Chains A and B, each alone.
Chain A
Amino acid sequence: MSEAVMKGLAETMETFTRMVAAFVPKLLVMIIIILVGWVITIFLRALARRILLLVRFDHLSEGAGFTSLLRRANLPPPSEVVSRLIFWLVWIGFILLGVSALGFPVLEAQIARFFAYLPQLFIGLLLFVIGLVVANFASRAVLLSLVNANVPSARLLSVLTRLFVILLAAAMALEQMAVATGVVVTAFSIAFGAVMLALAIAFGLGGRDLARRILEEQFTGEPVEKEDEISPL
């Protein structure tokens, strides 16, 4: 009896020792992958930062309004944000690669799914960031044009423009990331309809006098007296 127990224990110990002996190299491989990955990502971050500085990325982002957006959100300059994003994306990739080296089938499947999802996530984030920049640019262009045309509700229209572009970008990004696609499309359609209605009302109220003048000129045939403008040149 005791002999059988001892044999069982010895076999278990042997199996455990064999498993540990097999696991330790994998663990070491994981640690090495993560450490090497960390060094590589640090190098990549520095390289990305240098390239972005060389191409004056902060300067370009300033012009597009991205920098002020980040500043308002209390975030670092765009070149720093992008280089940090690269660092984390690559390092997470190395961590997952390291974990997969352990050889757990369940983890491997999850990691494979994560890697397959990564491009979608990246494109979704990129779409949203581009959307934010475009929204800022478009709203500023609308604001300036309307202010120079002395339209009273310039700010409202500019805010609506920004809202519309952000909504569009967010919907596109979420759809790309496959997050609640149906809900997103429905929500966007409702929001888009609301913005268009608001724009129609704003234009209708703001351009009432202009429309009346154009119609009067069209149907009565009497040209409306134009005001003199100073020629600047």
Chain B
Amino acid sequence: MATPLPIQDQAPTVPPPAPERTGADESLLPDDLLHRLIAVGEVDLLVGIPTLNHAGTVGQVVRAVQIGFVKYFPRERTALINLDGGSTDGTPEQVRAASIDDFRPLLSAQPLRTLHRITTPYPGSPGRDGALRTLLAAADLVRAKACAVVSGDLENITPEWIDALLRPVYKESFDLIAPLYQRHKFDGLLISNLIYPMVRAIYGHRIREPLGPEFGLSGRFARALLSKERDARTLSAHGIDLTITAAAATGGYRIGQSFLGPKVHASRRDEPSLPEALRKTVGALFEQVERDAAFWPGRQGSAPLPLFGFEYAMRLEPIRINKRRMLETFRTGVRELSSLFETILSQNTRQAILQRAGMDDKAFRYPDDLWVKTVYEFAAAFHRGVLHRPHLIQALTPLYLGRACSFVLENADAGSEEVGKRIEALCLEYERQKPGLIERWNIKQ
């Protein structure tokens, strides 16, 4: 009978003697977690798994991470921390129960060191910001050389993800490894039509998925984030993943991307409504752009990023889209919100949108240049505070639906490659119109 793999749960025990001061920000770590991390000691690699009621999936995520450690990093000192936001469905129990002994015949390597595993609640209210703040403090304390974050609700994570996220950081000295997912051509339209192209034009890096939620970090970048957090509590804002991406771009850190395959999150069914999603992502992006206003006006164009991982394509489930409803909401919005648009948009943009709203369903298009102008004028209006900010983002919702509908109509018969080319053209349009954003941004109130 084979001996079990050396996995050690760092359960809360009798507090050890007073910890040796390490210089890490221990104030962010609860006492119990601090003691358990001291028992673990220094590690090379650390993976954090934020969870909140993910009992159905977290077991396989934990197994994938551990197999990833054994398979790809058998000589390294590793630890896994599950940061739980107060699950009531037994998520921490699932983490503790996850075993990879059954997979032993498939593993070619034998880990030379103990795989440490901790499951802990984090201080503060549930949310990614609290979880990631605790993870950064933990990474600092255990002197992790590389750390990664993977969601607890992933349905299709494989051990290869751990290699893809950690190896470029650990072996190639990258500071941030952003994920690259395979998506259906109509999945994540907000990211492909607004978030990605605007982040690219503003920060000058072609980060295809600036909102994570899976990524890898170097120890030095984690420490820098932690110190930035200490100074200005920057990580407590909405859109923590975007804040991390922006911090890497503005701080001159080495950024890369790793292909992870399709993105399947179990809790996708509980995703927020569209206006809420816009408020959280677009609002966070506009806020971030405002915070980095000293950085981005001087940057022009964008640079591609090194890509890691084996890129492959697989058939994805088709998405049924109710174009009629999207178009109806767009037209209702243009009709009913005209007085609001007067304070946000220029006259030319308003007229062009009004004209588009009067077009036939089949001929309807919301062209790239008009969409980019719309987004930039909203961003400038957000900066100038012409309207209560959540209201301003809500006013963008019908226009986004119009643009999304136009994108779907334009690409109904297009293949992934063609859609990719169209997104690239849109990105170039964002870059081309950046001087216009700067001009509007600097208009005095």
Contacts and interface: CB of A to CB of B under 8 A. Distances in A.
Interface string A58-82: 1100111100100000000000000
B325 A144 contact: no
Contacts of A232: 188-191, 274, 277-278, 281, 400, 404
Interface stretch (A116-124, A147-155, A204-212): A147-155
A65 B400 CA distance: 24
Interface stretch (B85-93, B172-180, B382-390): B382-390
Contacts of B59: none
Chain A: number of interface residues, binned into ranges: 20 to 34
Contact of A68 (B271, B281, B333, B343): B343
Given A59-B385, A64-B388, A230-B404, A148 B322 contact: no
A62 B385 CA distance: 7
Given A231-B187, A233-B281, A65 B336 contact: no
User: Nearest 5 CB-CB pairs, A to B?
Assistant: A232-B190, A228-B320, A144-B394, A150-B329, A63-B388
A47 interface: no
A231 B189 CA distance: 8
Contacts of A143: 336-337
Contact of A147 (B271, B277, B337, B388): B337
B354 to A, nearest CB: 15
A202 B445 CA distance: 39
A141 B189 CA distance: 25
B337 A231 contact: no
A228 B319 contact: yes
B211 interface: yes
Contacts of B340: 140, 144
Contacts of A144: 275, 337, 340, 391, 394-395, 397
Contacts of B300: none
Contacts of B171: none
A143 to B, nearest CB: 6
Contacts of B101: none
Given A232-B188, A232-B277, A233-B188, A150 B322 contact: no
Interface in A184-233: 227-233
Given A155-B336, A233-B277, 4 more contacts: A63-B385, A147-B332, A227-B325, A233-B211
Interface of B: 186-191, 211, 268, 271, 274-275, 277-278, 281, 319-322, 325, 328-329, 332-333, 336-337, 340, 343, 385-389, 391, 394-395, 397-398, 400, 404, 408, 445
A181 interface: no
Nearest to A155: B336
Q: Which of A147, A227, A229, A232 is the most central at the interface, judged by chain B CB atoms within 10 Å of its CB?
A: A232
Interface string A136-175: 0100110111011010101100000000000000000000
B110 to A, nearest CB: 40
A62 B386 contact: yes
Given A62-B386, A141-B391, A233 B191 contact: yes
A148 B271 contact: no
27 contacts: A62-B387, A62-B445, A63-B385, A63-B388, A65-B388, A140-B340, A143-B337, A144-B337, A144-B394, A148-B275, A148-B333, A148-B394, A148-B398, A150-B332, A154-B332, A155-B336, A229-B274, A229-B322, A230-B186, A230-B408, A232-B188, A232-B191, A232-B274, A232-B281, A232-B404, A233-B271, A233-B281
B394 A230 contact: no
Given A63-B385, A144-B391, A147-B332, A228 B278 contact: no
B325 A150 contact: yes
Contacts of B188: 231-233
B332 A152 contact: yes
A191 B271 CA distance: 41
A232 B189 CA distance: 5
Contacts of B389: 63
Contacts of B321: 228, 230
A230 B329 contact: no
A147 B404 contact: no
A148 B333 CA distance: 7
A229 B329 CA distance: 13
